[in-house]
Structure 1
Amino acid sequence: MMAGRVAAYVLLGVVGALVAAAGALVQAAWFPGGLLLALLAVGALCYGGVKAMGTRLGGAVPAGAWVIAVLFLTVARPEGDFLFGAGAGSYAFLLGGMFAGVMCATMPKVSQPGSGPARLGK
């Protein structure tokens, strides 16, 4: 059972890195719509991770992998190639994605419907 959870977290991390790479390409290609699509993708992945795993770590793992992948993609290479331009869309993608990941990873846990009061003695 524990190995399955670890494998699921690893899968969430890999998908987070893939969403970062795809979002980096899409956000600049179709500027306003691509940026919105890329931000929705990272938000949906993090929220889906929280719901699928039932823990906040389910949202933090893909968000962390997304941030690491995006920061890795922003580094200019010696050949002069880089993936992000110096425009407002790139900064909105970076900051908006981090905001969506943090928001999903820190959202409060909602109680299950039909649960009793917290204090059982009453």
Structure 2
Amino acid sequence: MSGSTGGQHVPGARLSRSPKPGRIAAYLGLAVLGALIGFAGSLVQGAWFPGGLVLALLATAGLFYGSLRATGTQLGALAPAVGWLLAIVLLSIGRPEGDGLFSAGIGPLVFMLGGMALAVMCATMSRPPHPGGGPGRLGK
């Protein structure tokens, strides 16, 4: 078993292994999906207030939590959160002419802060249990 010595778990052993290409591709795909959800949420939350705001936040929460469950790691929730955050920041900056995608008001602020809070909540959740793992402590 890699990462263990004589049946004992070595802390940080997972960090020293090189990541698998499939996992890297999955995280990059989740980041792109996060950017798409951020872009779509930016449009929807301003178009149909307050229903669009609720829909955008539900889609954001579904993406972050679904990514956490699909990958089984906190990085799985952080990858789409990074893409989401980059998209909404770039869309909120606007252009020198004054054009911006976000409307004025409380909706965009609730979307940004609510999405960031959802990302933090999903990234700090405990990892789902591994299938077949029995109750009790490791090594017992």
Q: TM-score, normalised by structure 2?
A: 0.80
SS at match of 2:56: helix
Instruction: Map 1:83-102 onto structure 2 (within 5 A).
Output: 83-102=101-120
Work out the CA distance in 2 between the residues paired with 1:21 and 1:47. 18
Higher radius of gyration, 1 or 2: 2
Instruction: Map 1:1-122 onto structure 2 (within 5 A).
Output: 2-112=20-130, 115-118=134-137, 120-121=139-140
Cα 1:4–1:120 shift into 2, 3 Å: closer
Deviation, 1:76, is 2.0
Work out the CA distance in 2 between the residues paired with 1:112 and 1:5. 17
RMSD: 1.6
SS at match of 1:31: coil
Q: Deviations over 1:17-74 (max 9, x none)?
A: 0000000000011101100000011111011111111100000110111111111111
Deviation, 1:120, is 4.2
Contact 2:72 2:128 in 1 (8 A): no
How many correspondences in the alignment? 121
Q: Which amino acid aligns with 2:135?
A: G
Deviation, 1:79, is 2.4
Q: Unaligned 5+ residue runs, structure 2? A: 1-18
